[in-house]
Structure 1
Amino acid sequence: MIIDAHQHFWQYHPVRDAWINESMQVIRRDFLPEDLAPVLEANGVHGCVAVQADQSTEETAFLLALADQHDIIKGVVGWIDLRADDIHEQLSQYAAQPKLKGFRHIVQGEPDNRFILGENFCRGIKALSQYHFTYDILVYPKQLPAVEEFVQQFPQQQLIIDHLAKPDIRAGELNAWASHMRRIAQSPNVYCKLSGLVTEADWQHWQPDHFKPFLEVALEAFGANRLLFGSDWPVCLLAGAYEEVKGIITDYISTLSTTEQNKIMGGNAISFYHL
């Protein structure tokens, strides 16, 4: 079974979605399950994990409502204020939602590169494992030193790095990012998504070869058992069609065993998110 482990839905709102700037006209509209379903079918993908794009409890409710209505959504990664004093009460209520698999905070947008190490934030992370929730790590390379410290604090928590931590593929800046990722991967509870790559490259002029050095580091560091395919649809449409994004990954892993390919393209998502 092929699972897209990372995509988004939204009903476009110019204020809430101000991050979609003038250069992103192609995604300045609604994107809903009825838009994605034919794309998944055309690409032989059997389901997806819907990930939050807005930091609000309303976003979590929105995604869960869509998941109740559309079987293609196998799991939801929502948002919760991990620093809240009543974090346990909130998580206890969310634990009753079978399709809610975990949470994400847009740490890449925080001005403090060590935000992820904040005492209250880490208190919230510590609570997640008690309710069997995962946590998606969304950061830029400059925040990876803090992530190294972070993952070591939570050896029992299922963690996953989104978009390979957004390396600068356009500039080909590999070495510092690779060193951090290799050290982070030494924690066996940390997984990584092969997603969001085309939007870190030159949107108009990328070539498949541009991604290979970064994919090689990811495969070497995490192995086939801890890598997940994700499209980052519809954000990926800024730089490539769904089939192109999927093709970058399937072409790269084509020399692996069938078992390893199946894990990356779906098995690991099913296992990590308990789909």
Structure 2
Amino acid sequence: MIIDSHQHFWVYNPIKHSWIADSMAAIRKDFLPADLKAIYADQQVDGCVAVQADQTNSETDFLVKLAAETSFIRGVVGWVDLQNSNIEELLEKRSHDKIVKGFRHIVQGESDPNFLLRKEFLTGITALGHFDYTYDILVFPHQLVSVLEFVKKFPQQKFVLDHLAKPYVKDGFYEGWAAVMQLVAECENVSCKLSGLITEADYKYWTSQDLHPYMELVLEAFGPSRLLFGSDWPVCLVAGTFADVKRTTEDFINKLSEDEQQKIMGINAINFYNL
């Protein structure tokens, strides 16, 4: 079974989606389940986890509604204000939406490099554990040091790093990212998504060889049991196609056993998100 552990839906709004820069103009439009259904059929993908792209409660409601109408959406990673003093109450209310498996905050957009270590945010993460929710970590490499301290505070919380923490593939920067990623991977409650790499490379001229050093590092550090295939569709469309992402991943892991390949392509996502 193949599960896409990371993709997005949206009704395009130039204000809400202001992060879509001119260089990404190809995705300045609506992307809904009907647009993905044929792709999944062609690529033999069985289901997905829909991940928030906007930090509002209405975004989570939007994804929950889509999931109720779409059989291949197996789980939702939504947004909740983890710094809210009433976080327990907010999570209790959301817990009735069983399709919601976890939450994410767009930490990469925070100016404070230690945002994850704020007292109020830590209180929110503690509350997630009371409801068995997962947490997706979205950061840039310069924020990885705080990630290391952050995940060590919650050894029982299930974390997953989105997009390998977005290494600077285009610039060829590797050593600093690799050193901290290896330390983060020592925390066995942290997984990593094999996703989002082609958009960290040169949009027009990337090759699979550009990506392999980064993929090799996380395979060695996290192992086949803590890596999750993700397309990052439709963001991936600025640098290629869904098929490009899936083929690049499958070609990279074909040296592994069939069991290990199945874990990365679907089983790990099922287990991590309790799909």
1:65 corresponds in structure 2 to 65
Q: In 2, Cα distance between the equivalents of 1:218 and 1:172?
A: 16
> For residues 94-133 of structure 1, what are the structure 2 equivalents within 5 Å?
94-133=94-133
Cα offset for 1:24?
1.5
1:89 corresponds in structure 2 to 89
Q: In 1, Cα distance between the equivalents of 2:60 and 2:242?
A: 25
Q: In 1, Cα distance between the equivalents of 2:134 and 2:172?
A: 31
Q: In 1, Cα distance between the equivalents of 2:24 and 2:224?
A: 33
The size of the alignment, in residue pairs, is 275
> For residues 17-166 of structure 1, what are the structure 2 equivalents within 5 Å?
17-166=17-166
Query: Does the residue aligned with 1:5 lie in a helix, a strand or coil?
Result: strand
Give the partner amino acid of 2:79: W
Cα offset for 1:93?
1.2
Return 5+ residue gaps in structure 2 as ranges.
none
Q: In 2, Cα distance between the equivalents of 1:65 and 1:85?
A: 27
Q: In 1, Cα distance between the equivalents of 2:250 and 2:172?
A: 21
Give the percent of matched residue pairs that are identical in Structure 1 and Structure 2. Answer: 54
Give the TM-score normalised by the residue count of structure 1.
Answer: 0.99
Deviations 1:45-64 (A, max 9, x none): 00000000000000000000
Cα offset for 1:20?
1.1
Cα offset for 1:95?
1.1
1:227 corresponds in structure 2 to 227
Give the partner amino acid of 1:233: W
Deviations 1:10-60 (A, max 9, x none): 000111111112222210000000001111111110000000000000000
1:243 corresponds in structure 2 to 243
Deviations 1:142-193 (A, max 9, x none): 0000001001000010000000000011122111101100000101000000
Q: In 2, Cα distance between the equivalents of 1:215 and 1:176?
A: 15
Cα offset for 1:98?
1.2
Cα offset for 1:8?
0.2
Q: Which ranges of 4 or more aligned residues in structure 1 deviate by more than 6 Å? A: none
Q: In 2, Cα distance between the equivalents of 1:24 and 1:188?
A: 35
Give the partner amino acid of 2:9: F
Give the TM-score normalised by the residue count of structure 2.
Answer: 0.99
1:274 corresponds in structure 2 to 274
